[in-house]
């Protein structure tokens, strides 16, 4: 039977080996030519190497604290994979693609969770990326499913909804991209066997059917809402977002129904998305301070009134307010019947004192 001293020495040597392995892991991550990330259990980036910074197109200082799902195309599926890593003892792999502006780069992500015994104070996940197996690095490679729209007939109203579902877009967002109204869309759809009267739109639809990755929409409040949820963990309603964008809450109701925002709101949305993706976390708080400053300059109480048109009530007393406060006392004095006799007696006294004395008359000269 092994002695207690021998077991203690074996344990200590094992702990030293584990410490050396953890240090070797950190060194390997730093010099790995492929993108490598150290994440929290929630998926926030704690460390990324130079290759990872180049893959996502963001400086390391700006990426720390953001979520890995911010930089991939299928953020929901990747977040599910990250959430499942701590429950599994073996590495897990899944396909995705890096998102850099309008371009995407396919990748294969692999991650595993370090045992809590190795880092009890800071449980962490290790995720690295490599090009997908048996797949060209060119994102435009033709490995797509066949087009939905038949090539032996004109595009008809019956083809609209299947193509919309294939691209994963709502009616309003799809109409926005095609530059047509929703009324026009529904009119075409009500005639399923009639060809689309707009040749330009028909060509556009066939192009999107053949190359779905070309679907690129302008920055809309819905994109900012999703970025706030995934990047900052904030569940913001459209009406709250409207106030932060400098417009009334009714704009948020239209956004919630899929209607596009104004050109000015879209321009601000694009800038705010860059704030979330490329700037430190405190930069968003700096923008909220600017919103509060603007509200003070316009004398607007956003927190209470929930509107940019309702002004802040002036609580300081004014001369009119002081006079208004005295009016009830004067009204009470006028309405008291007991005050009438004194005024009458005073008048009578004046008359009584004046009655013995005849009015003076001027003597003719």
How far is Cα 49 from Cα 128, in angstroms, rounded to an integer?
10
pLDDT of residue 194: 93
Nearest to 306 by CA among 254, 355, 239: 239
Tokens representing residue 335 in the block: 């309405």
How far is Cα 332 from Cα 313, in angstroms, rounded to an integer?
30
pLDDT of residue 330: 47
Please name the helix (run of DSSP H) or strand (run of DSSP E) that holds residue 304, with its range, or none. Answer: helix 302-305
Could you count the other beta carbons within 10 Å of the beta carbon of residue 74?
15
Output the pTM of the full model. 0.38
pLDDT of residue 1: 53
Inter-residue contact 86 to 112 (CB < 8 Å): no
**φ, ψ dihedrals at 67, nearest 5°:** -90, 145
pLDDT of residue 279: 74
Helices then strands, counting H and E runs in the chain, come out as 16, 5
- The neighbouring-strand residues paired with 47 are 38
**φ, ψ dihedrals at 92, nearest 5°:** -125, 140
pLDDT of residue 218: 63
How distant is the alpha carbon of residue 206 from its chain centre?
32
Query: 35 in helix, strand or coil?
Result: coil
Strand order in the sheet with 45-48: 45-48, 36-39, 125-130, 103-113, 92-100
CATH fourth-level superfamily of 15-130: PAS domain (3.30.450.20)
Residues 159-202 have pLDDT tens digits of 999 988 888 777 877 887 787 888 999 999 999 999 988 888 88
Inter-residue contact 224 to 269 (CB < 8 Å): yes
pLDDT of residue 188: 94
Inter-residue contact 200 to 194 (CB < 8 Å): no
- String of b and e for 31-67 (b: at least 16 CB within 10 Å)? eeeebbbbbbeebbbebbbebbbebbbbeeebbbebb
Nearest to 79 by CA among 133, 36, 127: 127
- String of b and e for 113-126 (b: at least 16 CB within 10 Å)? bbeeeeeeeeebbb
pLDDT of residue 159: 92
Residues 291-331 have pLDDT tens digits of 888 888 888 888 888 888 865 555 555 555 444 444 444 44
How far is Cα 131 from Cα 211, in angstroms, rounded to an integer?
21
DSSP structure class, residue 45: E
How far is Cα 226 from Cα 247, in angstroms, rounded to an integer?
19
Mean pLDDT rounded to a whole number for the chain? 75
3-state secondary structure string across 302-339:
HHHHCCCCCECCCCCCCHHHHHHHHHHHHHHHHHCHHH
> Which residues does the chain have with pLDDT short of 50?
134-142, 321-340, 344-355, 357
Domain ranges of the chain: 15-130, 157-214, 221-305
Inter-residue contact 22 to 37 (CB < 8 Å): no
């Amino acid at each position: 039977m092994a002695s207690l001293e021998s077991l203690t020495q074996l344990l200590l040597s094992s702990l030293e080996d584990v410490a050396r392995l953890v240090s070797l892991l950190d060194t390997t991550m730093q010099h790995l030519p492929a993108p490598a990330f150290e994440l929290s259990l929630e998926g926030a980036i704690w460390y990324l190497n130079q290759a990872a910074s180049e893959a996502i197109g963001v400086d390391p200082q700006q990426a720390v604290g953001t979520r890995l799902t911010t930089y991939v195309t299928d953020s929901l599926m990747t977040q599910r994979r990250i959430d499942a890593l701590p429950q599994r003892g073996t590495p897990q792999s899944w396909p995705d693609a890096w998102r850099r502006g309008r371009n995407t780069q396919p990748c294969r992500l692999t991650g595993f969770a370090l045992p809590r015994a190795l880092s009890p104070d800071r449980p962490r996940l290790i995720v690295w990326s490599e090009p997908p197996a048996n797949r060209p690095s060119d994102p435009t490679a033709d490995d797509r499913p066949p087009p939905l729209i038949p090539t032996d007939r004109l595009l008809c109203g019956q083809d609209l909804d299947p193509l919309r579902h294939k691209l994963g877009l709502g009616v309003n967002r799809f109409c926005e991209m095609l530059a047509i109204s929703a009324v026009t869309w529904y009119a075409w759809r009500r005639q399923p066997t009639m060809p689309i009267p707009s040749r330009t739109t028909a060509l556009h639809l066939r192009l999107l059917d053949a190359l779905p990755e070309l679907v690129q929409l302008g920055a809309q409040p819905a994109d900012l809402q999703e970025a706030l949820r995934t990047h900052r963990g904030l569940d913001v309603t459209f009406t709250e977002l409207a106030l932060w964008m400098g417009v009334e809450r009714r704009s948020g109701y239209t956004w919630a129904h899929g209607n596009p925002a104004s050109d000015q709101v879209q321009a601000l949305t694009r800038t705010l998305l860059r704030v979330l993706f490329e700037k430190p976390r405190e930069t968003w708080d700096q923008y909220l301070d600017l919103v509060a400053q603007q509200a003070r300059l316009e004398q607007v109480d956003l927190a209470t009134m929930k509107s940019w048109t309702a002004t802040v009530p002036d609580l300081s007393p004014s001369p009119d307010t002081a006079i208004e406060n005295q009016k009830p006392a004067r009204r009470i004095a006028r309405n008291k019947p007991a005050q009438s006799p004194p005024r009458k007696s005073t008048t009578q006294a004046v008359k009584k004192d004046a009655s013995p004395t005849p009015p003076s008359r001027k003597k003719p000269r």
